């Protein structure tokens, strides 16, 4: 049984979910009516806060995400059953591919084209709805092809703030493995499987994602917003650095036979450190922080990441967790 918030706590979460849906509607309208200020608020002020939220606890976002609300509603009303384990593992890879396809597209499309972003958000919402009509609960989207899921898994290993999920009153096992809401500390083990015990994790989907992420982040922040005709060059640069990152990490991991329970948190902390190193100046400017604000943000995030990494490496419960993949 999942530990649920109290009745009044659930009412608060439900209210937050409805506000999330309403804000999404407002966002779609404003992306069309006033694209420039809306894109600025979204990309420069809201989205850069999300990785820090995942560090605190990915369940905060998972409990209010409007796409999760759509997926949950249709999944509970019409979803036909759990996702088969094989389909789930393919879906996880699709989610990672979607993330690697959509983030570079910010440079030549989504950062400056409100209509394109509104259409894409609407299409992803439709995907969440259709996934709910196909699979029970949130098995078809949130726990499967959601492009944010690999990030949630990487940072949900040892949340800084213990929380219980607000969505499932009890577990119907809609998702056969890796549900963050059910057991965040076992998610990584169940996703990577037995290969986590040696350097073989680098050949798993989540392992490839974690190893490629530092280069992917550097690649994104070393490009600038350009026209549609730069799409090929942007993908070549960002994904090229992601491949370099993966190769370097995989070689090191195989040389020292690094286990996933050590390597994954280190890669997660390094990636988020790189992210906030690059994002802090724009974040400080957007929130009109005093001069030197970017360095304060970098220092705060650096200290928080060091704390998170220390706590995560100290925890070993997921190392020995029994997973379906082990059997």
Q: Which is nearer to ligand SF4, 140 or 205 (CB)?
A: 140
Q: Does residue number 168 form part of the binding site for ligand SF4 (CB under 6 A)?
A: yes
Shortest CB 3 distance to ligand SF4, Å: 11
Q: HSE (CB half, 13 Å, CA atoms) of 212?
A: 22
Within 13 Å and on the Cβ side, how many CA atoms surround 52?
Answer: 17
What token pair was written down for 51?
A: 């990785």
C-alpha–C-alpha distance, residues 128 and 72, integer Å: 9
- CB of residue 217 vs ligand SF4: minimum separation in angstroms? 29
Residues 126-155, interacting with ligand SF4 (CB under 6 A): 137-139, 143
Span 204-223, contacts to ligand SF4 by CB under 6 A: none
Interface region with ligand SF4, contact rule CB under 6 A, candidates 23-31, 45-53, 58-66, 174-182? 174-182
Q: For residue 182, state whether it binds ligand SF4 (rule: CB under 6 A).
A: yes
> Looking at 99-107, 170-178, 210-218, 283-291, which segment touches ligand SF4 (CB under 6 A)?
170-178
Q: Which is nearer to ligand SF4, 80 or 254 (CB)?
A: 80
What Å distances lie between residue 168 and 3, 71, 73, 241, CA to CA? 9, 13, 11, 39
In the complex with ligand SF4, the residue whose CB is nearer, 102 or 171, is 171
Burial of 175 (0-12, 13-18, 19+ CB in 10 A): buried
Tokens of 72: 């949950």
| Per CB under 6 A, 181 contacts ligand SF4 | yes
Beta carbon of residue 88, minimum distance to ligand SF4 (angstroms, whole number): 11
Exposure string (b/e) for 294-308, b if CB count within 10 Å is 16 or more? beebbeebeebbeeb
CB closer to ligand SF4 out of 165 and 215: 165
Which residue, 179 or 217, has its beta carbon nearer to ligand SF4? Answer: 179
Q: Which of 127, 75, 130 is nearest to 98 (CA)?
A: 127
179 binding ligand SF4? (CB under 6 A):
yes
Half-sphere exposure (CA, 13 Å, Cβ side) for 124?
Answer: 21
Could you tell me which of 209, 183, 189, 198 has the C-alpha nearest to residue 326? 189
Q: Which stretch, 147-155, 168-176, 184-192, 241-249, contacts ligand SF4 (CB under 6 A)?
A: 168-176
User: How far is the C-alpha of 154 from the C-alpha of 45, rounded, in Å?
Assistant: 23
Q: Which residue number, 177 or 279, has a Cβ lying nearer to ligand SF4?
A: 177
Verify binding: residue 172, ligand SF4, rule CB under 6 A: yes
Compute how many residues bind ligand SF4; rule: CB under 6 A: 14
Closest separation in Å from C-beta 127 to ligand SF4: 17
Closest listed residue to residue 146, CA positions, set 41, 260, 65: 65
Q: Footprint of ligand SF4 on residues 69-88 (CB under 6 A)?
A: none
CB of 111 to ligand SF4, least distance (A): 32
Give the torsion through C-alpha atoms of 178, 179, 184, 190, to 10 deg: -10
The CA distance from 181 to 322, in Å, is 17
* Residue numbers at the binding site for ligand SF4 (CB under 6 A): 2, 137-139, 143, 168, 171-175, 179, 181-182
């Amino acid at each position: 049984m999942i530990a649920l918030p109290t009745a009044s706590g659930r009412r608060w979460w439900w209210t937050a979910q409805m506000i999330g849906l309403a804000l999404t509607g407002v966002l779609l309208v404003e992306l069309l009516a006033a694209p420039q200020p809306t894109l600025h608020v979204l990309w420069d002020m809201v989205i850069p806060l999300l990785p820090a939220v995942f560090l605190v606890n990915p369940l905060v976002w998972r409990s209010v995400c409007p796409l999760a609300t759509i997926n949950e509603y249709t999944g509970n009303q019409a979803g036909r059953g759990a996702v088969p384990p094989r389909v789930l593992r393919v879906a996880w890879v699709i989610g990672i591919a979607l993330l690697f396809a959509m983030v570079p597209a910010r440079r030549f499309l989504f950062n400056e084209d409100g209509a394109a972003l509104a259409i894409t958000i609407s299409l992803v919402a439709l995907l969440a709805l259709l996934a709910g009509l196909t699979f029970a609960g949130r098995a078809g989207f949130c726990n499967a092809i959601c492009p944010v899921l690999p990030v949630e898994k990487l940072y949900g290993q040892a949340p800084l703030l213990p929380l219980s999920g607000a969505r499932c009153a009890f577990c119907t096992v809609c998702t056969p493995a890796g549900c963050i809401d059910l057991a965040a500390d076992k998610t990584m083990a169940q996703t990577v499987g037995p290969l986590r015990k040696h350097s073989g994790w680098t050949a798993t989907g989540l392992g490839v994602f974690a190893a490629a992420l530092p280069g992917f982040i550097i690649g994104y922040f070393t490009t600038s917003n350009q026209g549609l005709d730069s799409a090929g060059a942007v993908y070549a640069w960002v994904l090229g650095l992601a491949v370099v990152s993966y190769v370097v990490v995989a070689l090191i991991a195989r040389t020292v036979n690094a286990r996933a329970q050590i390597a994954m948190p280190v890669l997660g902390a390094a990636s988020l450190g790189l992210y906030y190193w690059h994002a802090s100046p724009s974040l400080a400017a957007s929130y009109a922080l005093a001069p030197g604000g970017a360095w304060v943000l970098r220092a705060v995030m650096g200290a928080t990441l060091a704390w998170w990494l220390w706590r995560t490496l100290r925890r070993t419960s997921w190392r020995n967790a029994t997973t379906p993949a082990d059997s």
